[in-house]
Structure 1
Amino acid sequence: MKSVSRNLFSVGDKTKCLMAGAMLAGPMVLGQAKAYAASDQLNFLICVSDDQSMISTGFAGDPAARTPVYDKLAREGVAFTNAHCSASSCAPSRAALLTGRNFYELREGAILFSSFPKEIPTFQKLLWDAGYYTGYTGKAWGPGRFNAKGGTFDPGGVVYNHKKLDAPKFVERNDYVANFKDFLKDKNDGQPFSFFFGCIEPHRPYKPGIGLENGYDLDKIEVPGFLPDTPGVRSDMADYYYEIEWFDAKIGEMIEVLREAGELENTVIIITGDNGMPFAGAKSQCYDVSTREPFVVYYPAKFKGGRVIEDPISLADIAPTILELAEVEQSKEQPMTRQSFANILLSDEEGKVDPTREFVVTGLEKHNKPFPIRSITQGKYHYIRNYAEPGTYRFPVEGGYIWAMKKADSPEQVQDKKADVYGGMMREHPTEKKYVYHAWGPRPAEELYDLEADPWEWNNLADDPEYASIKQELSGKLTGYLVKTNDPRHTGGTIEFASYQRYGRKDFEDVSAENKALSKKWYEEAHALRRKLVAENKARAKK
């Protein structure tokens, strides 16, 4: 068995990423929407996995990943090898993707289990208002309660989660494909659509050993360098790969549904993930493996395929891109701050295409526990700014699943309690505490990494005099961008992220009757809204 040493910049044999991002110009506001019956109006199928890093696909060179659908569309479509989520946590990442804004612009919408700002429209709502039928299955935005402060339109559109199937233990029972079929049946004849497939996989928990049960060879698994190479970690990764394979297969089935419905040739297919893989040191951090996502756009009728794009893309750029392609206006009152990449899709070029994309910014406020971070990547350098008080431990998210760790106050307590840290890291590798500290321990105020020389970000260069000018440049650009885009941490306003109200589940063990009753109530409200919107859409066809 061997540990992976391949550089994150290497994607198959086709290209080398340069790790850059975008300095945004003003928002692009486009022309009026067409009448929805126009036969040439585009449809959209947006497929988003839950907790998957870019490295975990066959197209990215992972020999263990079984992603034939993604790999085929990546080879034949437009593959982006430098796409990043706005924040490495599901609610803020999805809020940014849906609204075309940086996560820190979205107040409570950027916090797990909180609410969604009703005055900020998502691209699904804007398409709906322009005559599209929009909906989702699985998870669009969340977890949280979108209507807690008066919202009347689910950020993802009309929810389709009612049909279920038998599935392996811990795999979501949502029959994604059957729900997609129902969505297509409910739209009006000739009506364009946008459907958000928010797959729950490969989010934890996993059935231990399900990867081995389904033929994954642990000897072929290349363990990323931020994890210890132990049998437990390899088995845990095999379980992770199994759920990625589940997601990939469902995309393939949805493509067949489109083909049978005669809708495939006029549908733009987008595939990505919401944040990094659910292992300690990835998800809920701001390292490269935390934020860089698989990303493919497939529409051979207009987008020249077989291209690999090295331009950095934020997932928040998806919303303005979809609106531009659909020829639908942004909100004049709440314009998007992110930048469309339709110019890249419509070009014939590959590699680095848009010279205005200079750097990319990511960050996080909290993933259950506060640990505010902002980060900027330009070229091969990655600069991270940590705002937490010195000595603050980070939330030990997703470390296998760290149920036993959440009440510990330090990594030492974890070892004392012999907690299960992804597959028994501390038991199998007791001398390798560095992995736990890298994922959970306190961090300095500044971090700087050379991603070509140090892709797993172990060697902090922030205090090295040789890199002082690089740190100063990146720090200045980060601050300038945050001020320009109204990050409350840099505009002098009140910082409220830690105080936003949470709804429903207060911790991982909240199985109280009260919480179950609340969950049932919100479920019933969501499906009542679904019935209302379906009826409203049918009425639109009669006008």
Structure 2
Amino acid sequence: MRYKLWLIAILCLPAMVARSQQKNSKRPNLLFVITDDQSFPYASAYGTPGVRTPVFDAIAASGVLFNNAFAAAPQCSPSRAAILTGRNIWQLEEAGTHSSYFPNKFPVFTTLLRNAGYATGYTGKAWGPGNWEDAGWKENPVGPAYNKQTLKPPYKAISNIDYSTNFQTFYQQKQADQPFFFWVGAHEPHRPYANDSGGDSGGVYVPGFLPDHPVVQNDIRDYMVEIAWFDAQLGKILDFLRERGELENTLIVLTSDNGMPFPSAKATLMEYGAHVPLAISWKGVIGGGRKENRPVGLIDLASTFLEAAGLAAIPHTPGKSLLPLLKGKTDPSRNAYVLTGMERHSASRPDNVGYPARAIRTADYLFVLNFKPGRWPAGDPPPVSEPPSPSPDIKPIGPGYSDVDDPSPSKMFLISHRDEWPLLFRQGFEKRPAEQLFDIRTDPGCTKDLSTNPAFDSVRNVLRGQLKDMLTQQGDPRMHGNGDIFESYPRFGNMRNWPGFKKRGEYNPAFQHH
């Protein structure tokens, strides 16, 4: 395929240094590529068996591969809002919950780039799901959409959006010498998947929080099929840029919005919920073949793009530019940890309440603070009997535990085989303590909670103090007595037939004045 030629070309850095130095006198292009629900370490650059991502790997080889990059939230729209604003989710009001409003009072880096003369646009999935139209935006906060061109994917579960051709349309419509920011938002590898599309050959990496069983193995193979398919589409985009001599003057960022849609991953603050792949390349500006172990957050990307474009950072945001680190410089102002957070995900509990939690992740440990440990973290189990739905707009509860995406063979297997895998079922679905502590070095699957182990008292106390201090400084309502305001925010996605409040797109008055 043509993009294979690009894989060779992108690694030939020495022969292109002089040309890239000339190009870099211009403002750089900015290409941001974000997949949907791809956990670290599901890219072959990380050495994970079974997954094939040669394009991602080539970008990592020509730049910096991050081993500890974290989304601000383990869910689509809050994570994407945090990327756009450089803020944590507790600083974003409605945009800190899933499928709500995105208040237009929060500046986004895409608008600042456009105001500075950049052409901006996106293909695929931008900010969402949620309602930007009624929140004062004239278009999606990412920019104008380029989604008209379609293709026939190998499976119906894969999006038919032709990412490459849509990018080419955008590129050809902009002014000839105009720098661009373009957001490539893959719909892959979000569920659903084509069953058994991954076949049964080759190894597969099953994280420690999932049963190493053929049902789960096949589900992960189907997941990896979508990762590999999108990687090939990305290769076409980069090949197009190379042919036009733009590749050497383009800062390329490849990542994902949150982790894999499996139990104990997406919609949790455990390791595979927020830990995502990240590779960044900028030829002639940052050196290649490097790996970075320091924890970084995707909220740092807003300042990174703005600094690369020669613009000031958005004021009063905790995200910090990654450029010093990318250039191999020391940055003493950078914290040695990353914060993550979660509010409501799906409509998974009575009264449409969420599972609020915050976490701090250092190079070695993950500490999680669960504000409502009396709630079911993955959503309530299904009731013994469900009353008739009051409206066609209200979905049945179904198998319950709805914060774990359906349809999911792994979820259903673990529910139906809970007696055979009691510890893994408990981790994925049963109630959690107010505090959790995991040693990521020895337990990347977060299967051994150390929060009650006296040997780790000092670690837990230090991390709890750091987390609460930072949340307080950043104005988190959960630390200032008004945390239930998050429960009031509207949800524009599907509502389920739980008791209590279930009005789609409306504020819950029971929590508005708390």
Q: TM-score with structure 2 length normalisation?
A: 0.83
Residues of 2 paired with 1:266 and 1:393: CA distance?
A: 45
Query: What is the CA–CA distance in structure 2 between the aligned matches of 1:220 and 1:201, rounded to whole Å?
Result: 21
2: distance between equivalents of 1:253 and 1:409?
A: 40
Query: What are the within-5 Å matches in structure 2 for residues 103-502 of structure 1?
Result: 103-167=89-153, 168-212=155-199, 217=201, 219-331=202-314, 335-347=316-328, 356-368=334-346, 369=348, 370-395=354-379, 406-408=397-399, 421-422=410-411, 424-427=413-416, 430-493=419-482, 495-502=484-491
Partner Cα separation in structure 2 for residue 410 and residue 133 of structure 1: 43
- In structure 2, the residue corresponding to 1:136 is in which secondary structure? strand
The answer (yes or no) to whether the contact 2:379–2:401 under 8 Å persists in 1 is: no
Distance 1:354 1:242, change over 3 A: farther
Matched position secondary structure for 2:90? helix
Distance 1:91 1:373 in 2: 17
Which structure is richer in relative contact order (CA contacts within 8 A, separation 6 or more)? Answer: 1
Cα 1:472/1:39, change in 2 over 3 Å? closer
Say whether the 8 Å CA contact 1:235–1:423 is kept in structure 2: no
CA change 1:354–1:292 in 2 (3 A) is: farther
- For the residue of structure 1 that corresponds to 2:343, the secondary structure is strand
3-state secondary structure, aligned to 1:303: coil
User: How many angstroms apart in 2 are the aligned matches of 1:246 and 1:427?
Assistant: 31
Structure 1 residue 421: Cα displacement: 4.5
How many equivalent pairs are there?
453
Mapped contact 2:216–2:409 kept (Cα < 8 A):
no
- Asked if 2 retains the 8 angstrom alpha-carbon contact of 1:51 and 1:203, the reply is yes
Give 3-state SS (helix, strand or coil) of 2:195's partner.
coil
Q: CA separation of 1:66/1:507 partners in 2, compared to 1, >3 Å: closer, same or farther?
A: farther
Question: Is the alpha carbon distance of 1:76 and 1:354 closer, same or farther for their aligned partners in structure 2, counting shifts above 3 Å?
Answer: farther
Counterpart for residue 84 of structure 1: 70
Measured after TM superposition, the shift of residue 199 of structure 1 is: 0.3
- Aligned partner of 1:243: which letter? E
Residues 216 and 410 in structure 2, CA contact (< 8 A), matched pair in contact too = no
Q: 1:268 to 1:220 in 2, by over 3 A?
A: same
How many angstroms apart in 2 are the aligned matches of 1:410 and 1:57? 28
Q: Which shows bigger deviation, 74-83 or 354-363?
A: 354-363
Q: Partners of 1:410 and 1:155 in 2: how far apart? A: 31
Identity of aligned residues (%): 37
Cα distance in 2 for partners of 1:426, 1:141 equals 32
What is the root-mean-square deviation of aligned Cα atoms in Å?
Answer: 2.6
> Offset of 1:407 from its aligned partner?
3.6
Unaligned ranges ≥5, structure 2: 1-22, 349-353, 382-394, 498-503, 506-514
Secondary structure of 1:120's match? coil
Q: Could you say what secondary structure the match of 1:225 adopts?
A: coil
Secondary structure of 1:207's counterpart equals coil
Contact 2:269 2:342 in 1 (8 A): yes
- The separation in 2 between residues aligned to 1:438 and 1:146, in whole angstroms, is 35
Following superposition, the deviation at residue 366 of structure 1 comes to 1.6
- The alpha carbon displacement at 1:427 in A equals 4.6
Q: Is the 8 A contact 2:303 2:314 kept in 1?
A: no
Check conservation: 2:397, 2:496, Cα contact below 8 A: no
Q: Is this contact kept in 2: 1:396–1:439, CA < 8 A?
A: no
2: CA distance between counterparts of 1:396 and 1:86?
24
Q: Structure 1 residue 297: deviation in Å?
A: 0.6
Q: Partner of 2:53 in structure 1?
A: 67
Runs of 4+ in 1 over 3 A off after TM superposition: 353-356, 404-411, 419-423, 425-430, 492-495, 504-508
Deviation track 1:361-403 (CA, whole Å, cap 9, x = no partner) reads 1111121140011011224121111011425342389xxxxxx
Q: 1:133 to 1:435 in 2, by over 3 A?
A: same
How much has 1:494 moved relative to structure 2? Answer: 5.4
- Cα displacement (A) at 1:101: 0.6
**1:57, distance to aligned residue in structure 2 (A):** 1.1
CA distance in 1 between partners of 2:295 and 2:375 (Å): 33
The answer (yes or no) to whether the contact 1:236–1:422 under 8 Å persists in 2 is: no
**Inter-partner Cα distance in structure 2 for 1:328 and 1:338:** 15
Extract unaligned runs of 5+ from structure 1.
1-36, 398-403, 509-514, 519-543
3-state SS in 1 of match to 2:45: coil
CA distance in 2, matches of 1:427, 1:107: 38
Instruction: Indicate conservation of the 8 Å contact 1:232/1:423, yes or no.
Output: no
Q: CA deviation at 1:74?
A: 1.2
